Amino acid sequence: MDEPVGCRVDWFYLINKNRGMMSLYMFKATYTSASIKAMVENPTDRSGMIAKACETFGGKMLHFLMAFGEDDAIVICELPDDVAAAAIAAQVASSGGCSRINTIQLLSVEDWVKACRMARDVSSGYQAPSK
C-alpha cells in the first residue's frame, strides 16, 4: 500500500501501515435531487470511483451500498486515520453531489469490550448532570 497522496504521513499511519492495522469508517451520504436525476438518466456503478478515493488516501473500500430512507449511500472502508477520513468527506461534500455526508468511526466488538472494561476499571469522577 502506498502512502496517501496529499496527506502528511505521521507515526500512527506508519505503524498501522506496517502492522496492517486500519481504522474502520462509515460514510453516510444523501444525494442531491440533481445527482439522483443524473444517475437515473445514466445508470452507472460508482463503486469503482469510491474505491479509488479510499485507495488514494491509503485505505480500502469494504462495502458500497445504496439505502432507502434518510441516507442514499453508505460506504464502509478502512483508512489510516481521521485526517484521511475527513479529506474524503471534504472531497465528496465539495463536489456538490451530496446534500449531506456523515462520517462515523466504527469500533470492532473486540475494541468495544476493551472500552467497556476500561470504563469499568478506571474512575474518572464523571457524574451525570443533576438539578
Tell me which residues of the chain have a pLDDT lower than 50.
Answer: 1-15, 18
> C-alpha grid cell for residue 92?
465528496
Predicted local confidence at residue 20, as pLDDT? 63
In order of their start, the domains of the chain are 11-121 (3.30.70.920)
DSSP letter for each residue of 53-117 = HHHHTT-EEEEEEE-SSS-SEEEEEEES-HHHHHHHHHHHHHHTSEEEEEEEEE--HHHHHHHHH
Please name which of 74, 96, 62 lies closest in space to residue 29, comparing C-alpha atoms: 74
3 state SS of 125: coil
Work out whether strand 73-79 and strand 98-106 pair parallel, antiparallel, or are unpaired: unpaired
